[in-house]
Amino acid sequence: MAKRIYQSKKLVLLDDTEITIKPLKIKYLHDVMETFDKMANAKTNEDSMEILIEAVYYSFQQFCPEICTDISYVEDNVTMPMINEILEVCAGITMSTDENKETVTRAKESGNSWKDLDLVRLESEIFRLGIWKDFEELEENLSMPELIEVLNAMRDAQKEDRKFLAAIQGIDLDKGSKDSSQNKWEEMKARVFSRGVTSDPNDVLSLQGQNAKKAGFGIGMGLDYDDARDPNLMKN
């Protein structure tokens, strides 16, 4: 089966409106994640619910802006299971109660948040493709899973170019590096799936899975996918 960058899902709201949800474009993800950042300061269940509803409202600005004209639409037409599903698909936020409380606590203690992610640095790297007229257009057209895949593809191509130029000069960049690379790759995977927080917040692998959860931004961000690339591609 062909690999998918992400999965989309159809959802029927209480007023029978059918929408298709998928990972948010970065333009909308900004608002959702900045809203969810407030969860670390929520003191009551009511406070938490208001934050979740606001996050769903910003998600709906991508999928059904013509009918979701104010936040009351969300209050009237979504249930708690729907909220969980929307946030998990759109932003990778998993609302498993115990795990989420633990994650929010760690985020508050560490001081890490969505705002700490150097997204401009990542966007700047792929902006050099010359496809978008400005960063706003880039964020309107790419989700985080798409941005990461484009970034990895660019780094793949750059590595092949370097290997070709080196080969012309009789230099084998891969010679003697297999064991070292394998060790680094194993260390990288161990760090990603461990409970430690990576020391480099701009490391591409740190934007997915358990590390993203522990860092407190995105809480997964929907980027849980298998990556079998050379670990050197994860470095700038």
Domain coordinates in residue numbering, the chain? 9-116
**Do residues 31 and 145 lie in contact, with contact meaning Cβ atoms separated by under 8 Å?**
no
pLDDT higher than threshold 60 for residue 191: no
- 3-class secondary structure per residue, 149-203: HHHHHHHHHHHHHHHHHHHHCCCCCCCCCHHHHHHHHHHHHHHHHCCCCCCCCCC
| pLDDT band for position 41 (cuts 50, 70, 90) | confident
Please report the pLDDT score of residue 113 as a whole number. Answer: 57
- What residues pair up with 18 in beta bridges, in sequence order? 12
Collapsing DSSP to helix, strand or coil, 207 comes out as helix
What is the pLDDT at residue 185?
Answer: 44
- Across the chain, what does the average pLDDT equal? 75
Task: Please calculate the CA angle 219-187-2 and round it to the nearest 5 degrees.
Answer: 60
Q: Phi first, then psi: what are they for 91, rounded to 5°?
A: -130, 0
pLDDT at 52: 92
- What's the pLDDT band for 226 if we cut at 50, 70, 90? very low
Pairing of strands 18-21, 9-12: antiparallel
Give 188 or 30, the one with higher predicted confidence. 30
Q: Could you give the CA distance from residue 162 to residue 217 in angstroms, rounded to a whole number?
A: 34
Greatest alpha-carbon span in the chain? 68
Residue 195 has pLDDT above 70, yes or no: no
State pLDDT tens for residues 121-164: 889 989 988 899 999 999 999 999 899 888 888 888 888 888 87
Beta-carbon-side half-sphere exposure of residue 19 (alpha carbons within 13 Å): 23
CB 40 within 8 A of CB 107: yes
At 84-107, the pLDDT tens digits run: 999 989 988 876 555 545 544 444
**Could you give the count of Cα atoms lying within 13 Å of 32 in the half-sphere of its Cβ?**
28
In this model, does residue 219 exceed pLDDT 80? no
